[in-house]
Homo-oligomer: A and B are copies of this chain.
Amino acid sequence: MALASLTHLQPLFKRLQVRDQITSDEMTALAATAGAIVDVPANTDMAPEGSRPGFSTLVVEGFAIRYNLLGDGRRQITAIHVPGDFIDLPSFLLKSMDHSVAALSDCRVMTYSHQSLLDITARWPHLSRMLWLLTLMEAAIHRQWLVTMGRFSALQRMAHLVCELYVRLETVGKAHNGRFNLPMTHVGLADTLGLSPVHVNRILGELRSMRLIRWDTPEVEILDWAGLRRVAEFDDSYLNLRNEPR
């Protein structure tokens, strides 16, 4: 079980090691306090709005999203989570879910009871700072999304999302050579970018005709990284990829 856990924790360790040193004791502690490994089928709510989960979950494999529903049924996705993301760390301290978390694709997740996270904060100050860091990195992504939503055109928003996902997936070894999988429909992209599905389709066509990307759902290929980056005004500093003591 412990060995299996360490394997499953690889994406998280990769993410953390990009930012700081993690001791093997800390790795062992994270593996020892892990709860069950659960497979969640695509399009399943893991933590619905209004619920009070007693545990947080770490994505091992697959994609998850965080979203809000409006009164009239419209949806806004506020985060896309990839392997190594500790989703629902917010629920650890916020307690009650003010939004929903769902599996986008089939997911494998590990659970961490809030009690075990409490123990970590009491006994492993550096490790708990690293978990805190994860939530701060998520907030940094939120801020960048706010910038793109407020000030970017639809084309720029889409280009920026592709750049961001590529870098984040590459960090955990899920993207190579400009290619990655994104199991998301036009409706999902529209709900992420604050657009309509029809317009998402037109924008993707434009990015294709500009020879910036190829997109055979679910595979995305970046054909011209420099060009895409320029269109998106993408600067990865908000992703905090530098390694330094925290």
Measured CB to CB, the residues of A under 8 A from B are 66, 68, 70-71, 74-76, 78-79, 89-90, 93-96, 98-99, 121-122, 125, 128-129, 132-133, 135-140, 142-147, 149-151, 191, 193-194, 233, 237-238, 240, 242, 244, 246
**Interchain CB contact under 8 A, A237 and B146:** no
C-alpha gap A26/B53 in the complex (Å): 28
Smallest CB separation, A221 vs chain B (Å)? 26
Q: Point out the residues of chain B lying under 8 angstroms from A244, CB to CB.
A: 95
A147 to B145, CA, bound (A): 11
Q: Chain B nearest CB: distance from A228 CB in Å?
A: 16
Collect the chain B residues with CB atoms within 8 Å of residue A237's CB: 96, 98
Known: A93-B132, A121-B125. Contact between A146 and B139, CB under 8 A? no
Q: Distance in Å from the Cβ of A189 to the closest Cβ of chain B? A: 12
- Say whether, besides A147-B68, A242-B96, A139 and B137 are in contact (CB < 8 Å): no
What are 17 A-B contacts with C-beta separation under 8 Å?
A: A68-B144, A76-B150, A78-B147, A79-B143, A93-B133, A95-B240, A95-B242, A95-B244, A96-B237, A98-B238, A98-B240, A132-B135, A135-B139, A138-B139, A145-B146, A149-B150, A150-B194
Question: Is chain A's binding surface mostly helix, strand, loop or mixed?
Answer: helix
Closest-CB distance, A29 to chain B (whole angstroms): 15
Contacts of A193 in B (CB 8 A): 150
B93, A129: Cβ atoms closer than 8 Å: yes
B70 touches A151 (CB 8 A): yes
CB-defined contacts of A138 to chain B, threshold 8 Å:
139
Nearest residue (CB) in B for A239 is B98
> Chain B residues with Cβ under 8 A from A149's Cβ?
146, 149-150, 194
- Partner among B75, B135, B233 whose Cβ is within 8 Å of the Cβ of A70: B233
Q: Contacts of A151 on B, CB cut-off 8 Å?
A: 70, 74-76, 194
Q: Smallest Cβ distance from A85 to chain B, in angstroms?
A: 13
